Structure 1
Amino acid sequence: MTSSVPELVPLTPGGRRVLDAASRLFYERGIHTVGVDTIAEAAGVTKKTLYDRFGSKEALVVSYLQHRDARWRDHVAGQLARVPDPGADRVLAVFDAAISWSDENSPKGCSAINARAEIGEGNDDHPVFPEVSRQKAWLLDLFEELCSEAGITDPQAMAQAMMLLYEGAIVTVGMTTFAEPFAIARTWAARLLGRP
């Protein structure tokens, strides 16, 4: 599978506190509204420690996204381990993972999509963009791999349909348009996969 997780650099205790504080604050309040002073104070470290560990706020944002992504991938792997045999149920396991992850970890939707939207157009050289693209490419590749293993005739097209359902659901979670979007996405995914 392409789009592998970048190797995460081990963190010192101070670095871990910075990342934990930044992750909470970035997700809850947004990247632009949270300054390094606020992060350092919440982490109980100096700004110097923050910069020594991460180099810049932009690098801290990318680290936040990478660490969230690593946790999400571990969660997906755990769900897939419960469905070891190839087939439609393994594809649907990604939606099951999203259902069990979403309430506690993503009540405001996808951190990567939110970061991409917040950085905005005209900042194409921002390091968040390739990170977000890498994460989304990984999920699409995963869907295609699972669809291929399931023997689906056109795994690429089905993977794209699964991705659209998934991404629509995660945006709907963030917008709170209606309740249980991942459950609804899973129902339609099952229909597309020929499951009752």
Structure 2
Amino acid sequence: MSTKPANVRTRILLAAKELFSTQGIRATGVDTIVKSANINKMSLYKHFSSKEALIVAYLQNSDSEFWSWFVEQIEVNARTPKDKLIAIFDVHAGWLVSPDFQGCPLIKASVEFPDQSHPVHQVSAAFYRKFRSYMTDLAGQAGAQFPERLAGQLCVLFQGAIVSEQLQRNSVAGNYAKLAAEILIAINIE
């Protein structure tokens, strides 16, 4: 009885997710992924043309999963655009203190692949452009005079808190980011 290709692809992505998040992307070899997924190399290359293609797929999955979860949490917890901007930091702070938090895979990937023209870096940058655009839209709907500027400031807080928490667990960076965000939002939105 053979395993369905979709299941093999899923197993590969799950193995890559675990290994990339705990060992790093560059430090994790294809042989380690193959062994962890309990497949052979031919199966991996049937689904992904290269390790780079696997990394890109892993990051796209991370983007999609996180985005769906994150936006849903914001929508459930806030109604107005201003409240949604604040809710971003409530959800963010909760994520940072969760036992599952291992940092942001997209930030980690951009550090490992700093060349901005590299496909891995581009996937990471695209996520944060989308995130900033989301915050810009909310800031505009909430009445900010300079929504792009406010969104940029909030993105810096968001990303900085992630890195702070990656560097030192239980740093309460999420709480500090929320306090700063509330001040920025109050100054920029009547």
- Correspondent of 1:184 among 170, 176, 181: 176
Is 1:134 aligned to 2:129, yes or no? Answer: no
Percent of residue pairs identical: 30
Deviation at 1:55, TM superposition (A): 1.1
**Long gaps (5+) in structure 2:** none
Instruction: Check whether the contact 1:169–1:181 (CA below 8 A) recurs between aligned residues.
Output: yes
Structure 1: distance between partners of 2:117 and 2:69:
30
- Correspondent of 2:107 among 104, 108, 113: 113
Q: 1:152 maps to which residue?
A: 144
Structure 2: distance between partners of 1:76 and 1:149:
19
2:49 partner letter: G
Instruction: Look up the SS of the partner of 1:75 in the other structure.
Output: helix
Instruction: Check whether the contact 2:116–2:122 (CA below 8 A) recurs between aligned residues.
Output: no
Q: 1:13 maps to which residue?
A: 7
- Which string of whole-angstrom CA distances, capped at 9 and with x for unpartnered residues, describes residues 58-112 of structure 1? 01111111111111111112112224522322101212222232334433x2211
Instruction: Check whether the contact 2:106–2:124 (CA below 8 A) recurs between aligned residues.
Output: yes
Structure 2: distance between partners of 1:56 and 1:145:
37
TM-score of the aligned structures, taking structure 1 as reference length: 0.86
1:149 partner letter: Q
Structure 2: distance between partners of 1:82 and 1:124:
35
When the two chains are superposed, the root-mean-square deviation of aligned CA atoms in Å is 1.8
- Bigger RCO of structures 1 and 2 (CA < 8 A, at least 6 apart): 1
Deviation at 1:177, TM superposition (A): 7.3
Instruction: Look up the SS of the partner of 2:121 in the other structure.
Output: helix
- Correspondent of 2:40 among 42, 46, 50: 46
2:85 partner letter: V
| Higher share of residues assigned helix | 2
Is 1:28 aligned to 2:22, yes or no? Answer: yes
2:10 partner letter: R
Instruction: Count residues with an aligned counterpart.
Output: 182
TM-score of the aligned structures, taking structure 2 as reference length: 0.88
Instruction: Look up the SS of the partner of 2:80 in the other structure.
Output: coil
- Correspondent of 1:59 among 53, 61, 65: 53
Instruction: Check whether the contact 1:66–1:131 (CA below 8 A) recurs between aligned residues.
Output: yes
**Long gaps (5+) in structure 1:** 1-10
Instruction: Look up the SS of the partner of 1:153 in the other structure.
Output: coil
Structure 1: distance between partners of 2:138 and 2:116:
32
Runs of 4+ in 1 over 4 A off after TM superposition: none
Deviation at 1:145, TM superposition (A): 0.8
Structure 2: distance between partners of 1:177 and 1:38:
27
